[in-house]
Amino acid sequence: MKFIISSTVLLKNLQAILGVINTNNTLPILDDFLFELTDDNLTVTSSDLETTMRVIIKPDMSEDNGSIAIPAKILVDTLKTFPDIPIAFTIDMTTQMIEISAGEGKYKLSGHKSDEYPRTPSLDDTNAVQFDSTLMAYAINKTLFATGNDELRLVLSGIFCELTPDDVTFVATDAHKLVRYRRTDITSAESTAFILPKKPMNLLKNILANQTLPVTIEYNRTNAFFSFGNIHLICRLIDGKYPNYDAVIPKENPNKLTIDRHALLTSIRRVSIFANQSTHQIRFRISGQELVLSAEDIDFSNEARERLSCAYEGEDLEIGFNSKFLVEMLSNIDTVEVRLEMSAPNRAGILTPVNSENKAEDILMLVMPVMLNK
């Protein structure tokens, strides 16, 4: 088995799928890339058993089809040191020895038999939907930060994707905050829902962020298959029933605060420096057309207070929030102004963008209040 390929082309494609490989693998073979040469195509696979990524590359020259597992770290570290030059791989299929020739250098390393590598799951009885890559990356970006990390509540660690003939909805929550991102310009012939795991969504977001191309999602009851360009990603869906997110969104919120997003964000960032660093509690006191933000850390006698102008409809209100959650949410809204709707100090607040340019987009963020110290 032999092939010649540009070092830059190979490195770029390997780096796209490298994120799948864990630092501590239970199976040593999962530290490897699986290289498969068939009919002038080089397919490279990485896997952690739950997520599998595959990239298809056209080598400059190839001889003798075959497959071998090559240690990922040593290969990527070596490729990083080369300029853009052709490199030749010669693999002895009997001894699993790999010889790499690049310029005046020759490098040898030991590979592993390809039959030890886990098989890619097959997809049967699938349905499909197509997204624009920019939109997919945007939807993941707007929701991923709100996912949970509790291993006992796995369903909350992923992004809930709900497809209907009217729209598509992405939801993420950790029980303290919730984000619902909905698009009416994408629909599905059939209504369905599944939970996408956090790790593959993070990998997708990073790869798709700088590309504009169609992304096809095929899915069944156990797996989702994403294909775009020369990259394929298969991930096991999170098994379980997602909580009824719609039921926790309060519908009657008579107190409405409209304010400049950037001014509120920078004020919260400043004031929160003086808050208790374990609770991150920040106090909102709203009366008339004025919002007063305050925070204190009694243990260190730290205190901060800022006054902001706002547009407010409703009764005077005093409510507490976790400043970290608000900073994350405000950082993931793009409009000049935001609206915070509230009903009572012990009920969730609803944060939404004001005058969004994209009429097909609907973003709603929910944040639970914290009990204020009197």
Residue 247 vs residues 181, 348, 350: alpha-carbon distances, Å: 16, 12, 13
What span, in angstroms and rounded, lies between the C-alpha atoms of 62 and 2? 6
Q: Which two tokens stand for residue 2?
A: 């032999």
Q: Which two tokens stand for residue 260?
A: 């400049």
- Structural domain tally of the chain? 3
pLDDT tens string, the chain, 374 residues long: the values are 999 999 999 999 999 999 999 998 889 999 999 999 998 899 999 999 999 999 999 999 999 999 999 999 999 999 999 999 999 999 999 999 999 999 899 999 999 999 999 998 887 888 888 888 988 999 999 999 999 998 889 999 999 999 999 999 999 999 999 999 999 988 888 899 999 999 999 999 989 987 889 999 999 989 999 999 999 999 999 999 999 999 999 999 999 999 999 999 999 999 999 999 999 999 999 999 999 999 999 889 999 999 999 999 999 999 999 999 999 999 999 999 999 999 999 999 999 999 888 888 999 999 999 988 76
Q: Tell me how long the chain is.
A: 374
Long-range contacts of 101-105 (CB under 8 A, 24+ apart): 102/7
What span, in angstroms and rounded, lies between the C-alpha atoms of 283 and 260? 18
Asked if residue 122 belongs to a domain, the reply is: no
* Residue 111 shares a structural domain with residue 136: no
**What's residue 374's pLDDT?**
61
**What's residue 304's pLDDT?**
97
Q: Which of 49, 80, 61, 22 is nearest to 235 (CA)?
A: 49
| pLDDT 10s digits, 106-153 | 999 999 999 999 998 887 888 888 888 988 999 999 999 999 998 889
Q: Which residue has the tokens 């509790």?
A: 150
Can you give the CATH number for the domain in which 202 is found? 3.10.150.10
What span, in angstroms and rounded, lies between the C-alpha atoms of 188 and 194? 13
- Give the distance, in angstroms, between the CA of residue 339 and the centroid of all CA atoms in the same chain: 25
* Domain region containing 27: 2-116
Asked if residue 121 belongs to a domain, the reply is: no
Asked if residue 279 belongs to a domain, the reply is: yes
* Residue 269 shares a structural domain with residue 359: yes
Asked if residue 6 belongs to a domain, the reply is: yes
* Residue 112 shares a structural domain with residue 8: yes
